[in-house]
Structure 1
């Protein structure tokens, strides 16, 4: 028996996760240039990274959401596959956000890129499996 499919619940969770960096953003509705002189340089750089992590989360959200919806409409994907993909994406995005904000060295930057790759792979696998299932389901020409 398959597990409960929680992948559609991951869509609003992913959207909210993209806004987590605003928790540490000193002036979330102000441009970064406007606050540059009012805060220590290290805090300003961290706020810039938080803003970049937020923007990246929003950029990553749409393909993830599309993959979850399409995956749920596909008869070829199991609830286990979808739940695993959604959980992997959310975990990778949470770690990505933390690593992005803390990034101050080339080693951490490499880790950030690796975690980003995991988050992208989680929804790409779903789209690939849907496409592979659709290709297999096409009737042969007469």
Structure 2
């Protein structure tokens, strides 16, 4: 079977780890582009020598309030993506060591990646409690997918 040009009969789970890395990085790239290209002439842009100062002084970019908030949300989504990356990578590694079925590995990897895409979009674009709740659900789906892989791996290796 193929999906988006990928043969899903093959184990694609290990490829999902660099894909998750990319999904963690994309919000930061968006944030850098936002503060670099949308700021008015003469305003401070992204501080490549000390990136943390850009967050602290985002008001100096003179972006609109909406864009400043979006910048901060994108950086927070980036942070969260990298916090969860190790957990996901370890879950995929454990599942491969346990030789879980390819279909299960691919489904779990796809669920995690889909949840991360949704999480990023909801974090960056969401500005109300409903979006925050939906973002939390997306985070839980991704995290519980990893927990499920660990539990299934433990059962199989026991």
Q: What's 1:42 paired with?
A: 66
| Unpaired segments ≥5 residues, structure 2 | 1-7, 36-45
Contact 1:18-1:58 within 8 A present in 2 as well: yes
Give the corresponding residue for 2:118: 95
Paired residue total: 133
Residue 3 of structure 1 aligns to a residue whose secondary structure is coil
Q: Distance in 2 between matches of 1:28 and 1:112?
A: 29
Equivalent of residue 67 in structure 1, options 87, 91, 108: 91
Return closer, same or farther for 1:74/1:28 CA change in 2, 3 Å cut-off. farther
Deviation at 1:116, TM superposition (A): 0.6
- TM-score (normalizing by structure 1): 0.88
The residue number in structure 1 matching 2:40 is none
Is 1:12 equivalent to 2:18 in the alignment? yes
- Which 4+ residue blocks in structure 1 deviate beyond 6 angstroms? none
Q: Aligned residue for 1:22? A: 28
Ranges in structure 1 where 5+ consecutive residues have no aligned partner:
136-142
Q: Residues 34, 61 of structure 1: CA spacing in aligned structure 2 closer, same or farther, 3 A cutoff?
A: same
Q: For structure 1, which segment, 30-39 or 120-129, has the greater mean C-alpha deviation from structure 2 after superposition?
A: 30-39
- State yes or no: 1:56 paired with 2:80: yes
SS in structure 1 of the partner of residue 57 of structure 2: helix
> Which TM-score applies when normalising by structure 2?
0.79
Match of 2:104? 81
**Equivalents in 1 of 2:19, 2:105: separation in Å?**
15
Shift of 1:102: 1.0
